[in-house]
Amino acid sequence: MLQETDVLDALTHNAVKVMPELQPADLVTDTSLADLGCNSIDRADIVSMTMDELGVVVPVTELYSGQRIGELVELFLKYS
């Protein structure tokens, strides 16, 4: 079973992979990927890569552009 830290670590790893200018410390639960400068394609890549890495499928209808990282973590846990 996935833990919150597993999901946050995967999101952080993939966000830094897609946006190398980000620092892992930038990804805190009360900010969004959009706040960090990720455009819609970057966000889709990060979420897709994280789903693949964790083996989780989050329905597209559950995702929206202003979602905070903490909300994304909760979604991944919900569908794990």
Domain boundaries, the chain: 4-78
Q: Percent of the chain scored above 70 by pLDDT? A: 100
Rounded distance between C-alpha atoms, residue 67 and residue 58, angstroms:
13
Burial of 5 by CB count in 10 Å (0-12 exposed, 13-18 middle, 19+ buried)? Answer: exposed
pLDDT in tens, 41-70: 999 999 999 999 999 999 999 999 889 999
Q: What is the DSSP letter of 67?
A: -
For residue 65, the model assigns a pLDDT of 83
CA 35 to chain centre: 13
Q: In this model, does residue 1 exceed pLDDT 90? A: no
3-state SS assignment for residue 68: strand
So what's the architecture of 4-78 in CATH?
Orthogonal Bundle (1.10)
Q: What is the pTM of this model?
A: 0.95
pLDDT in tens, 8-20: 999 999 999 999 9
